[in-house]
Structure 1
Amino acid sequence: MITGNTTSGTFYVFNKKGQSTPIVFIHGVGLTYEIWQPQLNFFKNYSNLSYDILGHGKSSLKKQNINFDDFSNQLIELIDEIKIDKIHLVGFSIGSLIARNFATKYNDRLQSLILLGSIYKRSVQQQKIVNERFDQAKKELKLSRQALKRWFTDKYLENNPDTYEKISSILSGNNMDNFLKVYELFVKHKNDEDFEKMNTKTLIMTGEHDNGSTIEMSKQLNNVIKDSKLKIIKGGKHLCGIECADEVNLSIKNFVENND
């Protein structure tokens, strides 16, 4: 296991195993690489790479104005620096938007692409809701713990208080200036990627009860991304990668092995 920082300030954890194509995990806004622990444990015998996106966890953010290209540049610099050629890329929430951007620019570096909890063409009402959450975060300069109610089922939170505290701790540890810059990108995302440039085998997954990254959005993505497959995680909400880890892990494993 190699942990370190790139020359430009990206914190990463690299588990290198033989010659296998690494599985790279990109987390969501306000979170850190640590949310992938169920996947990192499951894929401990595979090469895998997780890292903190710009302005999150232990990764720096030096620019005032940012866009999705900056996050793609962060990833390409990271894999170039640690000398990885091809990757299986797994992105969650804003991480899936970063992965989509990356796929339009560095398609030749992808072995496969997995989008978990991705958004596509929010309705007027859905956009209004995320705008209001963003305004609340700007006003209060903190993240509401209500997010966890959207991300996990009540039953899961009741039975897993340690997870509740862990995620809450990550959220409260954010640098709010950096968080708001990144959150704004997520809120204002326009689905303007050139999907024609995405020529990678793609798996689109979302939780059955995810109200922000809905089944309908995933179905539409499945229609616009060629050579893509759709998987709905039964009983899951937004952070189904933790709550429904077994099903998510097996889905990733099967897809990666079929496309290695």
Structure 2
Amino acid sequence: MIEFLPLPDDHPDLAASPMLRGARHILGYALEHEGIGLTATKAFKRDFVHWAVENFEWPGKSPEEMFRYHRVVNEADFQPLELLHFLLIRLRLGRHYKGRFLATNDGRMYAGQAGALFDKLVPFFLLAMDHAAYSRIGEAPPGNWDTWLNVMNVEIEDGVSERKLFGVFYGEGLDWDNDGRRQIGTFSSCVLKPLEWAGLITLQETREPDGRTAHMIFKAPLWRSALKLETDEMVRPAVRH
């Protein structure tokens, strides 16, 4: 069982959720500027895309990194923005009207309610979205969120490497140097990345003995404040706030 706990709008842990922060930026900008301009294909125009790159504070998507590879950045080049655009329309918090993205009445209301917006946006993003659809590999790993979250609840309490966590679910032996490259990449794209973007885990870059870049996975404070899981009693220390 997975339960998201309601959080008050001023809960300090909410500030660490990239998804929530990005959604509030979009809605706030649309309300302040009477909408956001759209291209002929109904993507956000470049002036707003550049503003979003500079203000979203998205993990792994710093302005320096984005503009290093793109002289100009379109919505399709900034995947988090493209995804949030879709989600806000899908959840009826925004709509397209006469060439602009506008906040709906619900969007206007939720823009000022961080806790309620998190509860509406993040569970849907995490549990209902097809994360393989926007991953580079295009495949989903075997498993489900109930299993992944309850096992991770125990395994990452003190931090664990990406490779070791993959081994917990799918067996030891697979590595980036062998047939495991694709499987580990799929697990990272469809499970770890969504959790990081939701603000529930953090990935800290480290180095393997051979110098290869690796990641350690830790629970973010929001994991403990927002999630209620069946394995909570197995976590040491089993602390809930």
TM band (smaller chain) = under 0.3
Q: So what's the TM-score if we normalise by structure 1?
A: 0.25
Q: So what's the TM-score if we normalise by structure 2?
A: 0.26
> Which structure ranks higher in relative contact order (CA pairs < 8 Å, sequence separation ≥ 6)?
2
- Which structure has the greater CA radius of gyration? 2
Higher helix share: 2
